[in-house]
Structure 1
């Protein structure tokens, strides 16, 4: 595994807490049955591709999250037309359908996800872009592929932190993927994701961090009560208003923060400008864009990206 892969200090033992109220096991099993049924329906319908209305895809994504027992609140501005880079902070495997509920998009995922049961088939049929996250030489080609999708008017969803965090803290946005938006002249739409408990506080039960097992994370969500996913769509960023990918990444990161200016100043002072190596145990979750919170770094080493990126 590459030492450049971003990671987070969050771990299940230190950061993740179950909700104070838990639902009965039969109800949790019923929720999981609903999730699996919707996933299988998605796989069956995926070959229809663009013939499925975007409104139906967004509704299916909402149902998927709701079937897991999580209410969804989407607020903010409408996504602009045309090619769009959709970026968000990364907490959970639930983040992917939540972003698609805002706007259906192509996901860039680590190649291992192709072999995941159910989710892998859904990702492949949904047009996910797969990449080998251990090959830094693949980075320039990946940026070019994303730019091509954006130029064609498509949408690409990205988690630029490069790793999942617990929701009480965030990581630095990696920059390379923003070069694709600059190259394509496409807008960047920041989306702030939060998970709340029944009392309105931050919920970490949905977090999928460190060495957490996917099934354990899914079960933790299914048995929780009162979880709410808040999706705040922030105003789109025009690439022409930013001189380079570094500035564009910082602007997107500030937009996705709880207290943008204060958080960003404190965070950059703490981690500096170099790549984060904290929490080596979380490298298995590292990734800039992901399906099911399995992600791949898109900003491992800027020097590998040509044309002055």
Structure 2
């Protein structure tokens, strides 16, 4: 049971439109089979990682994540990807959170460490890769572990690592979004490293928005993977935005708000939808 402090999303299966074009059953099962093959291949890569240098490890891990996207029929479109290039110093990379594909996309552009929920460690492929990258796990059972997580994250950033964080704290459907929680931004301030906002947006090949990739409600990772495997023409946009120096903000709350505003410059349509939803919820409560 999660502590009440931790964010929860109102998104559930009712947020899934189900109107997207789908591939046939043969293509769907081929994709799922191919993902299993990627799982097996990733385990074969493990001994090799200890034998190659940092660049070799990064290249191999990137290929695994890209293979996941390729086998699932997801087209990756990246803008500003140079912002994730090696920089010789740490950076806190923050993005909106919709799907398990978020982790795949960021690491397909640039493999990096992450702050992730503890249960992700048990996921097939992603769990192993995220753990192998030296991720910092956060427990949702209570607040006592939060200070230790921020302190550990600060150390990792100071050591020069780029670390991916999803400050919404949970997944949303993509049309609605959560606020960026400020806790992890304290690590960027304490570590003296910049924040690098990344906006992720899912759409279909015809340009229409989709909620199908969302990992929401009580569904399992297997349910979500199966739904993505059935989609025809899924596109995942990765927009790497300008970095934010920690000194530009008075505190972690302002830094979080600045990063959220930067992401919203890309996700304006989704934000408009969210404001409409909040207005409807407020109206219903006042009735």
Q: TM-score range by the shorter chain?
A: 0.7 to 0.9
Structure 2: gaps of 5 or more residues = 280-287
Q: 1:157 — aligned with what? A: 164
- Give the corresponding residue for 2:282: none
Does the alignment pair 1:39 with 2:46? Answer: no
The structure that is helix-richer by fraction is 2
Structure 2 CA distance, aligned partners of 1:85 and 1:193? Answer: 16
Q: Give 1:239-250 correspondences, 5 Å limit.
A: 239-250=246-257
Distance 1:55 1:19, change over 3 A: farther
TM-score where L is the length of structure 1: 0.80
Aligned to 1:54: 58
Distance of 1:151 and 1:19 partners within structure 2: 46
1:18 paired residue number: 18
TM-score under structure 2 length normalisation: 0.85
Matched, 1:84 2:104: no
User: Matches of 2:40 and 2:114 in 1, distance apart?
Assistant: 19
| 1:173/1:187 CA distance change after superposition, 3 Å | same
Deviations 1:252-300 (A, max 9, x none): 101111356x949x85xx59xxxxxxxxxxxxxxxxxxxxxxxxxxxxx
Task: Tell me the secondary structure at the aligned position of residue 27 of structure 2.
Answer: helix
Could you say if the C-alpha distance between residues 21 and 248 of structure 1 is closer, same or farther in structure 2, counting changes exceeding 3 Å?
A: same
Structure 1 position 23, deviation (Å)? 0.6
**CA displacement, residues 96-118 of structure 1 (integer Å, 9 cap, x when unaligned):** 01111232111222223333344
Q: Give me the CA root mean square deviation.
A: 2.4
- Structure 2 distance, partners of 1:72, 1:117, is 21
Shift of 1:77: 5.1
Per-residue deviation, 1:53 = 4.2
Secondary structure of the corresponding residue to residue 65 of structure 1: helix
Indicate how the Cα distance of structure 1 residues 116 and 64 shifts in structure 2: closer, same or farther if over 3 A, else same: closer
Does the 8 Å CA contact 2:199/2:267 hold for their aligned counterparts?
Answer: no
Count of residues paired in the alignment:
268
Match of 2:9 in 1: 8
Larger relative contact order (CA 8 Å, sep ≥ 6): 1
Q: Do the aligned partners of residues 116 and 100 (structure 1) sit closer, same or farther apart at CA in structure 2, a change above 3 Å counting?
A: closer
For structure 1, which runs of at least 5 residues remain unmatched after alignment? Answer: 272-309
* In structure 2, C-alpha distance between the alignment counterparts of 1:249 and 1:8, rounded to whole Å: 19
- 2:234 corresponding residue in structure 1: 227
Distance 2:177 2:237 in 1: 16
Partner SS state of residue 122, structure 1? helix
Offset at 1:170? 1.1
